[in-house]
A and B are shown apart, each in its own frame.
Chain A
Amino acid sequence: MSECVKFSFRGQEIVAEAGQSVGAALIAAGHRSWRTTRREGAPRGVFCGIGVCFDCLVVVNGKPGRRACLTEVLPGDVVEPQEGAGRGELSC
């Protein structure tokens, strides 16, 4: 139906539909979690899906703290898991 958008996750190429969120594209590609929590290092992915909960934080093009459920995937995006608060960079 839609155009395709290619992006990378953990160095692997993923094909998404244009307009999908990073979170939706990752789930469609079979990924359920891409963040570890600050205190316990527990795995997390999408929970609320609409920008309320912040469970789905992800690093997009080097910027940590992006909400995967709200961030539209763009061609060539480099997506990495987020550990804790986001590699100490917090430039978001």
Chain B
Amino acid sequence: MSFPAEAAEIAVLGAGPAGLAAAVTAASAGARVALIDAGTRVGGQFWRHREGDEGVGHHDWPTLVRLRAGLSRVDVRTRHAIWHVERADGGFTVHTDRGEIACRTVIVATGAYDRQVPFPGWTLPGVYTAGGVQALVKGHGVRAGDRVVVAGTGPFLLPVAAGLVDAGAEVAGVFEAGSPAGFARSPLAVLANAGKLAEGAGYLKTLLRQRVPYRTRTAVVAAHGTDEVESVTVASLDRQWRIVPGSERTVACDTVAVGYGFTPQLELPVQLGCETRLGADGSLVAVADDRQRATTAGVYLAGEVCGVGGSALSLVEGELAGLHAALTAVGAEPNRDTVARLLRQRKSLRAFANAMHAAHPVRPGWQTWVDSGTQICRCEEVSVGTVRSAVKDLGATDARTVKLLARPGMGLCQGRVCGYATACLVAAECGREPTAADLDGVAARPIAQPVTLGDLARG
């Protein structure tokens, strides 16, 4: 069903697990809800799928089927890229490339994307983000290459590698820079979420069946090739991720899938003035309370924007946000037992996520893999040496100033790809740990999506 845009009581921004749960919950509570997403169909990155795809290779597909069925009372606006959200009289105006949507309350559920650190050769064609390789398989039925190396840190590497194997690729190795044994330090959090371990074990089984090497404390520290990647250098790492001398070896491959966890997509919360902080994984995250309220009145947050924690946590946070936003919008009192159950689930899943992050930190030793000529900013082709020089020779003491002096993060992607690494590199050059203020300095983007002058003229 469709209703006039200006009548939307709640606009949910993002149609992944968190946004879907929020929209369906709020609509069930009687609120008029608009669900807005840039994609062709709902599901977000987690349930990214093709037309006619009925769940093969997808995790928790029945939940998507249930949520989709609940959208009958929601004004679903796919193919709408949101580029700005601003306060308006008594509410907000959501600007998209297909016009404005007015609402009283917003729920931001914009998710996250792969976090990267640079290494020599990472700009070669054939080097992809781990999420990109997964999106090609799940969204388009295309495998990125024939002989693939999967590298980085975090549990997401496992489904990516398993997905590639299922798609018929040869996976030349999975190189995990961290050490999953760190999970053992949080036994209670892990035991309370045994299903997650079973999921991981399933992926490992797929890899073992194909005799895919899985190595921990090991990283791809360089990619080689002329016009495309032809091989990588793999090395063992010490506790700080410095290369263990003599451990380097070459692995032939035509494709590399690399990801160092995820970083929340925070343009819209930052535009709205929501408070941010350093999350358990060292990424910038937005601050939400027990009702999923942001520090900005009328704004709710759900899912990875509150800290990367996976789809189960996103579903819980989405439901909490939907219930409380509906309470504000139409006075629908949420069931106390339901809220108490959701808060318990949130606590347990967040504890598991924190245990996962503790087991998969990004260690500063990656900065020893790069040389001064390694590009850190792919868009503006700014090298590590240029960034270091902005600190050493030009006197910059924070990433924001380095951005102005040396241009990392000034290109088309506006620092989405290099912002984290630049902030870490600058902090290290200044002899300190990266802070939330460092990451804030590379996160502010007044326009969240590229828009044409025509879009701007239309408002």
Give me the interface of A with B, judged by CB distance under 8 Å. 1-2, 17-21, 24-25, 27-28, 32-33, 37-40, 42-55, 57, 69-70, 72, 92
Query: Do residues B132 and A49 form an inter-chain contact, with CB atoms below 8 A?
Result: yes
The 8 A-B residue pairs with the shortest CB-CB distance, nearest first, are A49-B132, A24-B140, A54-B412, A33-B125, A32-B125, A45-B125, A49-B135, A28-B142
Q: Which of B100-155 contact A (CB under 8 A)?
A: 113-114, 123-129, 131-133, 135-136, 139-142, 144
Given A39-B381, A40-B381, A55-B378, A50-B125 contact (CB < 8 Å): no
Partner of B123, one of A20, A44, A48: A44
- Which of B50, B132, B380, B413 has the most chain A CB within a 10 Å cutoff? B132
Query: Do residues B113 and A47 form an inter-chain contact, with CB atoms below 8 A?
Result: no
> Closest residue to B135 on the A side, CB-wise?
A49
- Which of A21, A43, A48, A72 has the most chain B CB within a 10 Å cutoff? A48
Q: Number of contacting residues on B, CB 8 A?
A: 37
| CB < 8 Å A-B pair total | 106
Query: Do residues B126 and A47 form an inter-chain contact, with CB atoms below 8 A?
Result: no
Query: Do residues A48 and B125 form an inter-chain contact, with CB atoms below 8 A?
Result: no
> Closest residue to B132 on the A side, CB-wise?
A49
Q: A53 contacts which chain B residues (CB < 8 A)?
A: 129, 378-379, 413, 416-417
Give me the interface of B with A, judged by CB distance under 8 Å. 38, 40, 45, 50-52, 113-114, 123-129, 131-133, 135-136, 139-142, 144, 227-228, 378-381, 411-413, 416-417, 452
A-B contact pairs, 5 of them (CB 8 A): A38-B381, A43-B227, A49-B128, A50-B45, A54-B411
Partner of B139, one of A24, A40, A48: A24
Chain A interface mostly: loop
Q: B381 contacts which chain A residues (CB < 8 A)?
A: 37-40, 42
CA distance A17 to B142 in the complex (A): 10
Q: A39 contacts which chain B residues (CB < 8 A)?
A: 380-381
Chain B interface mostly: loop
CA distance A32 to B145 in the complex (A): 9
Q: A20 contacts which chain B residues (CB < 8 A)?
A: 140-142
Query: Do residues A47 and B136 form an inter-chain contact, with CB atoms below 8 A?
Result: no
CA distance A1 to B412 in the complex (A): 36
Partner of A27, one of B51, B52, B144: B144
Q: B132 contacts which chain A residues (CB < 8 A)?
A: 46-50, 69
Given A48-B131, A50-B113, A92-B452, A1-B52 contact (CB < 8 Å): yes
CA distance A32 to B133 in the complex (A): 13
CA distance A46 to B412 in the complex (A): 14
Query: Do residues B136 and A48 form an inter-chain contact, with CB atoms below 8 A?
Result: no
How close is A74's CB to chain B, nearest CB, in angstroms?
13
Q: A44 contacts which chain B residues (CB < 8 A)?
A: 123, 125, 378
